[in-house]
């Protein structure tokens, strides 16, 4: 039998939405620049046929950088005593949404560390007020692992979506990135709970995280196929100087872009952001992400004080800009490649 070449693998993946694990590992291990371009072109055609040249935007509000967890890769991990901790007030958060609404955002993402200050009661109140004021907007929560009952309360308060990256679908790899208090089993439990409750649910991973193998990336693709996410966040790992992984190399833009394309081919309608991390490792990273199949951007609309300190990794872009500068910058980049940011909720269909 002929050995399958990568173009055939990409064609088969696009056609069937899946490949056997060995073929995925081989593709990820041996792809050339030409193969990557081919995958990007096919993924771009797919997103054009589903979304046209419309890019959905999400206004990202970084509500707190306090975190009870100690993930080895993350700059706001509990053990980083150098992090300058902050949390936004309710008024701050609503101010961000007011500004964001005027700027055309119809989705607000409340993201933060796992901060016990933001109790279910408080979040219910915040979500309720946003939904009451802006009934035409979606609210996305990205606040980590919680009990199912808590997720249910946030959903009942009106939250529409939840982002919780699985980080890696391999048990052994998961335990190299996290302390033993965090498990892949619980992460998956959270994801399945969220989906069952009715959230549009996002998973995702860092590309090039320490100890990650090509087999791990294949496992991520297979897990996502099984889970069926509505959203997928993919960006390169970038070291943070105050973490145990400070000396580890960043993931490559190319690998990240290739993964974006493969995810688009496997999940034609998935909401797939061109991430800030991608824009950090490569100045045209977000545009390249869109050209590789992404259809969402998440400009930061947090106050300057917050974004200066919400540092998951070093050299994060946009930390010195205000919200309108961030937005204008992202808009211009999108327009420069012939796409358009639209003032729509951009739900999964």
- Asked if 240 is part of the footprint of ligand 5AD (rule: CB under 6 A), the reply reads yes
C-beta atoms surrounding 165 within 10 Å: 18
CB of 243 to ligand 5AD, least distance (A): 7
Among 25, 96, 238, 294, binds ligand 5AD (CB under 6 A): 238
Half-sphere exposure of 249 (CA within 13 A, CB side): 6
Stretch that binds ligand 5AD, among 27-35, 46-54, 230-238, 341-349 (CB under 6 A): 230-238
Site for ligand 5AD in 155-194 (CB under 6 A): 165, 167
CB of 231 to ligand 5AD, least distance (A): 12
- Asked if 143 is part of the footprint of ligand 5AD (rule: CB under 6 A), the reply reads no
CB of 34 to ligand 5AD, least distance (A): 28
- Asked if 206 is part of the footprint of ligand 5AD (rule: CB under 6 A), the reply reads yes
The values of phi and psi at residue 107, to 5°, are -135, 135
Angle CA(190)–CA(61)–CA(331) in degrees, nearest 5? 115
Nearer to ligand 5AD, 46 or 142 (CB): 142
CB of 115 to ligand 5AD, least distance (A): 14
Do residues 231 and 267 touch, judged by C-beta distance below 8 A? no
Residue 102 CB contacts under 8 Å (≥ 6 apart), including other chains: none
- Asked if 235 is part of the footprint of ligand 5AD (rule: CB under 6 A), the reply reads yes
Helix axes 253-266, 33-51, angle to 10 degrees: 50
Site for ligand 5AD in 73-102 (CB under 6 A): 73-74
Number of residues forming the site for ligand 5AD (CB under 6 A): 12
Nearer to ligand 5AD, 167 or 219 (CB): 167
CA distance 253 to 275: 11
43-63 b/e with 16+ CB inside 10 Å = b? bbebbeeebeeebbbbbbbbb
296-324 b/e with 16+ CB inside 10 Å = b? bbbbbbbbeebbebbbbbeebbbbebebe
Nearer to ligand 5AD, 165 or 331 (CB): 165
Q: What is the CA radius of gyration of the chain?
A: 19
CB of 237 to ligand 5AD, least distance (A): 5
Short-list 201, 205, 175, 172, CA closest to 189: 201
- Is the CA virtual torsion 273, 266, 44, 256 positive or negative? positive
Stretch that binds ligand 5AD, among 38-46, 56-64, 125-133, 234-242 (CB under 6 A): 234-242
Site for ligand 5AD in 243-262 (CB under 6 A): none
Among 101, 258, 313, 339, binds ligand 5AD (CB under 6 A): 313
DSSP state letter for 61: E
Do residues 104 and 340 touch, judged by C-beta distance below 8 A? no
- Asked if 277 is part of the footprint of ligand 5AD (rule: CB under 6 A), the reply reads yes
Nearer to ligand 5AD, 209 or 295 (CB): 209
CB of 328 to ligand 5AD, least distance (A): 24
For binding to ligand 5AD (CB under 6 A), which residues are involved?
73-74, 165, 167, 206, 235, 237-238, 240, 277, 312-313
């Amino acid at each position: 039998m002929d050995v399958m070449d990568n173009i055939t693998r990409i064609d088969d993946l696009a056609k069937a939405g899946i490949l056997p694990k060995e073929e995925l590992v081989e593709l990820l291990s041996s792809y050339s620049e030409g193969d990557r371009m081919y995958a990007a072109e096919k993924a771009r055609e797919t997103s054009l046929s589903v979304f046209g040249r419309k890019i959905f935007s999400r206004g990202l509000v970084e509500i707190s950088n306090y975190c009870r967890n100690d993930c080895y890769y993350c700059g706001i991990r509990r053990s980083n005593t150098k992090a300058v901790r902050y949390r936004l007030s309710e008024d701050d958060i609503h101010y961000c949404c007011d500004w964001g609404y005027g700027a055309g955002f119809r989705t607000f993402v409340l993201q933060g560390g796992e901060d016990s200050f933001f109790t279910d009661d408080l979040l219910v109140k915040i979500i309720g007020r946003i939904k009451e004021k802006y009934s035409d907007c979606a609210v996305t929560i990205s606040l980590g692992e919680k009990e199912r009952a808590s997720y249910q309360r946030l959903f009942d308060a009106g939250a529409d979506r939840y982002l919780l990256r699985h980080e890696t679908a391999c048990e052994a790899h998961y335990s190299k990135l996290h302390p033993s208090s965090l498990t892949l089993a619980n992460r998956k439990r959270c994801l399945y709970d969220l989906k069952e409750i009715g959230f549009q649910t996002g998973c995702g991973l860092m590309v090039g995280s320490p100890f990650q193998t090509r087999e791990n990336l294949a496992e991520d693709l297979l897990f996502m196929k099984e889970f069926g996410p509505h959203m997928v966040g993919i960006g390169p790992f970038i070291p943070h100087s105050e973490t145990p992984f400070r000396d580890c190399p960043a993931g490559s833009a190319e690998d990240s872009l290739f993964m974006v394309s493969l995810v688009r081919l496997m999940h034609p309608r998935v909401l797939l952001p061109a991430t800030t991390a991608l824009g950090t490792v490569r100045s045209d990273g977000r545009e390249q992400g869109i050209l590789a199949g992404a259809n969402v951007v998440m400009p930061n609309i947090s106050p300057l004080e917050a974004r200066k300190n919400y540092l998951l990794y070093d050299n994060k872009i946009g930390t010195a800009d205000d919200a309108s500068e961030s937005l204008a910058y992202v808009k211009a980049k999108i327009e420069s490649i012939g796409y358009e940011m639209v003032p729509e909720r951009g739900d999964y269909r």
